[in-house]
Amino acid sequence: MAVGSLIIMGISTAIQTVSAYNQAKTQAANYRAQAAAAEQQVAVASANQRLAKEQASAERKQGYEDMQTKRLEAARIIGQQRAQMGGSGVAIDQGSFLDVLADTASSGEISAINAYNQGIDRAYAKEIEAWNYENAANAYRAQASNYRKAASKTSSGAIWSALGTATGGIASIGSTWGKSTG
């Protein structure tokens, strides 16, 4: 009966050894898959970062163009006011007519500056978005690196894990053998 028990312990040890080895290999494969997924996230975050930077540049340009448009609108309105006032035969470069023209010019410039500032604000928001994507990409890079390291350690540790299981099983068999013969 002792020999049968030892054979069963030997088979059990062999199965546990193979299981420990396979488990470590599976874990290493899981780490490699997680590293690949994290690297995919790096690519996505980097692409989003580039897009956000391009959008920031476009917003800055749009703000400048909006400013120029507002200035042209103000100049057009001032031209219309001059034409209307000049058609009445009154001197347009003095008194209340001059005040109207100055107010229109001032309002036009304020609108132009506001349009430009809005473009700058939108560009800044896009730059912050790009910065956030860059930080996300760096975090994913670190994650991928950690997973690759874990996969490497687990993969190389698979043999040691299996040997540890086998050694424990053999020691148990030896102990049982010693008790049954002694």
Kindly state the average pLDDT of the residues 102-124. Answer: 96
Q: What is the 3-state secondary structure (H, E, C) of 73-94?
A: HHHHHHHHHHHHHHHCCCCCCC
In this prediction, residue 159 carries a pLDDT of: 67
Provide the 3-class DSSP secondary structure of residue 1.
coil
Residue range 45-99, pLDDT digits in tens: 999 999 999 999 999 999 999 999 999 999 999 999 888 887 777 777 778 888 8
